Structure 1
Amino acid sequence: MTRIRVANAPCSWGILEFSGLERDRISSSQMLDEMRATGYEGTEFGDWGHLPTEPEQLGELLEQHQLTMVGAFVPVAFRFAEGLASAEQEVLRLARLLAAVATEEHTPLLILADENGTDSRRTGNAGRVTPEMGLTADEWKHFARNVEQLARLIRDETGLEAAFHHHCAGFVETPAEIERLLELTAPELVGLVFDTGHYLYGSGTNDGQVVSDGFARLLPRIRHVHLKDCHPGVAAQARTAGWDYFTALAQGVFCELGQGAVPFADIVQQMRESAYAGWIVVEQDILPGATEEPRESARRNRDYLRTLGL
């Protein structure tokens, strides 16, 4: 049986991609110490500059903590017709670093995403997006073409694979939008990072069956899995009160694993039955003012996954 390996991510220690939401940052060495001590085997890269950006230093730090680099997240404004000139060098810089710390057992994944949280309408309506808030037909063409172009560049220049991460407060949030992007992109170039919490909140419902059904339907394109839970009570309140994405995030819409509506046991069973060979990555966004220490939250999330046989 293929063994599913469990990683965590710097966002679980407050190292977030959104400016102004970062906690006081602990050192990268302490973060990796705590990640390994709480039972994880790998990490994602996080924001540029928190972990070392020189291959030798990064490799040594990962080896010191017995952790595998599994991938890195990079947001890009894909919908604009002018293309990717401003993003290509930044993305290649990251891809080359990941390629330099690849091991015989694992080559990291470059995780592409929209420039989430930058469009006021999408940010203001995250979790309750309607079709008229979506991309136009021309914007979809630009978006898909640019994703493919960047994925091809990453592959040709570094040998790394790319996969797209759907995300609330971006233009690929709802199940219909995720499937539209996959229809418009080549499977050999663009895989999918399936995020359980974003999928549920982005669906506009609190029904965990939506996540199970979506995972099953999209499984042929899934290359990487982010485990995040979604609290139905907070999600319902966010929709009723009209909270924007960042308010919902601060109020705990993405709760610890097992505390929300995501049916993790079913997702894990589907992965086992399909011989899923990728990593699963826990993401527990820790925000400024949070009373819980990241280490203890990470430990509880890891303990929960052990109840599922992971």
Structure 2
Amino acid sequence: MSVRLGINPLTWTNDDMPSLGGDTPLETCLSEGKQAGFSGFELGHKFPRDPEVLGPILDNHGLSLVSGWYSSELLTRTAEEEIEAIKPHLHLLKSLGATAMVFCEVSRCVHGRRDVPLSHSPTLSEEEWQTFIPRLNRVADYCQAQGVTIAYHHHLGTLIETPEEIDRLMAETTPSVGLLLDSGHLVGAGGDPVAAQKQYAERIKHVHCKDIRKEVLEDLRNRDLSFLEGVLGGMFTVPGDGFIDYVSLFKGLRDSDYQGWLVVEAEQDPAVAHPLTYARLGHDNLQRFCDEAGLRVTQ
């Protein structure tokens, strides 16, 4: 069993708040990510979406394409409409060797709105659950048949956020719907990543390693702030710089024979948190935690 270490460009330039790192070129993200020791990158808004263009760029840096975020709108689109919408993204991932897709339903989401507190995160009505699940299953079946598995991203400020919502999603979807386990988002929503890993070991297809500064999370909840205010306040950081127990989490991944990517995805203000410094810290801590857990890392 082995894992690979990747990173998301959010360390350098933010998709939800493009003003953060807006002037940082893609070349800087890739060269510094490689310098920090990572083997691959997830997509960001500065990445070309043509595999014939992006492939050589990644190859020049000795990097792999890990995965990429897809925003679904299954509450307003049929499964067939979503499949048509997803095809270019699916083609990009498949062409460049990525086997998992970061997938999130963004209908009524608030994580990109600085003026809306997380206490106002949307929820699914019973009728919407009955619409959403069959459509998601159909899209997931299609993607899996194409060689790419959906890894559903539970995310603060979206319809699937809390442990209870994750439980229902996993209970009612077919095995073609994988789970993206994001340590930071789960803790932020009141969950336990170690417990979730044990419960859904067979469904976990991708892992985001985002640590939490506990005092900032508590302040966000106490002052009823938004997701973006949390980001600006330093709620997220790289593994080992917060309070999440990654060694226990990784021991669970080892025991379940997880063989995918561990991805540092810790959005911070790059003007405050120097990207290369934090990329190196995140990589080195991940490697150390893997070593302690007996989880082998390969390039």
After TM superposition, the score normalised by the length of structure 1 is 0.85
Q: 1:197 aligned to 2:188?
A: no
Tell me what 1:26 maps to: 24
Q: Root-mean-square deviation (CA), in Å?
A: 2.4
Relative to structure 1, is the Cα distance of residues 177 and 191 closer, same or farther in structure 2, using a 3 angstrom cutoff? same
Q: 1:75 aligned to 2:66?
A: no
Partner Cα separation in structure 1 for residue 220 and residue 102 of structure 2? 28
3-state SS, counterpart of residue 180 of structure 2: strand
Q: Deviations over 1:64-94 (max 9, x none)?
A: 11111121111123334x4356644442101
1:294 to 234, 253, 275: 275
Q: Deviations over 1:9-31 (max 9, x none)?
A: 11121142x25554224222221
Relative to structure 1, is the Cα distance of residues 151 and 85 closer, same or farther in structure 2, using a 3 angstrom cutoff? same
2:141 to 136, 149, 152: 152
Unaligned runs of at least 5 residues, structure 1: none
Partner Cα separation in structure 1 for residue 189 and residue 135 of structure 2? 23
Identity of aligned residues (%): 26
Which has the larger displacement, 231-240 or 290-299? 290-299
3-state SS, counterpart of residue 248 of structure 1: helix
Using the TM superposition, give the Cα deviation of residue 125 of structure 1 relative to its aligned residue in structure 2, in angstroms: 4.6
What amino acid is the match of 2:163? P
Using the TM superposition, give the Cα deviation of residue 293 of structure 1 relative to its aligned residue in structure 2, in angstroms: 2.2
Partner Cα separation in structure 2 for residue 35 and residue 211 of structure 1? 26
Partner Cα separation in structure 2 for residue 19 and residue 236 of structure 1? 22
In the TM superposition, what are the counterparts of 1:252-291 in structure 2 within 5 Å? 252-287=234-269, 290-291=271-272
3-state SS, counterpart of residue 212 of structure 2: coil
3-state SS, counterpart of residue 67 of structure 2: strand
What amino acid is the match of 1:37? Q
Relative to structure 1, is the Cα distance of residues 22 and 115 closer, same or farther in structure 2, using a 3 angstrom cutoff? farther
Q: 1:234 aligned to 2:229?
A: no
Tell me what 2:294 maps to: none
Partner Cα separation in structure 2 for residue 269 and residue 129 of structure 1? 35
Relative to structure 1, is the Cα distance of residues 138 and 9 closer, same or farther in structure 2, using a 3 angstrom cutoff? same
Contact (CA 8 Å) 1:129, 1:202: kept in 2 or not? no
Which has the larger displacement, 133-142 or 232-241? 133-142
Partner Cα separation in structure 2 for residue 117 and residue 29 of structure 1? 34
Partner Cα separation in structure 1 for residue 237 and residue 251 of structure 2? 22
Contact (CA 8 Å) 1:116, 1:168: kept in 2 or not? no
3-state SS, counterpart of residue 37 of structure 2: coil
Contact (CA 8 Å) 1:54, 1:97: kept in 2 or not? yes
Using the TM superposition, give the Cα deviation of residue 170 of structure 1 relative to its aligned residue in structure 2, in angstroms: 0.3
3-state SS, counterpart of residue 206 of structure 2: strand
Q: Deviations over 1:1-52 (max 9, x none)?
A: x122110011121142x255542242222211111110001111223xx222
Q: 1:138 aligned to 2:127?
A: yes
Relative to structure 1, is the Cα distance of residues 184 and 278 closer, same or farther in structure 2, using a 3 angstrom cutoff? same
In the TM superposition, what are the counterparts of 1:1-310 in structure 2 within 5 Å? 2-16=1-15, 18-47=16-45, 50-80=46-76, 82-84=77-79, 87-102=82-97, 107-115=98-106, 118-119=109-110, 124-126=116-118, 134-156=123-145, 158-187=146-175, 189-203=176-190, 210-287=192-269, 290-308=271-289, 309=291
Partner Cα separation in structure 2 for residue 276 and residue 70 of structure 1? 15
3-state SS, counterpart of residue 112 of structure 1: strand
Contact (CA 8 Å) 1:116, 1:169: kept in 2 or not? no
Relative to structure 1, is the Cα distance of residues 274 and 152 closer, same or farther in structure 2, using a 3 angstrom cutoff? closer
After TM superposition, the score normalised by the length of structure 2 is 0.88
Relative to structure 1, is the Cα distance of residues 108 and 69 closer, same or farther in structure 2, using a 3 angstrom cutoff? farther
3-state SS, counterpart of residue 267 of structure 2: coil
Contact (CA 8 Å) 1:23, 1:286: kept in 2 or not? no
3-state SS, counterpart of residue 280 of structure 2: helix
Relative to structure 1, is the Cα distance of residues 282 and 116 closer, same or farther in structure 2, using a 3 angstrom cutoff? farther
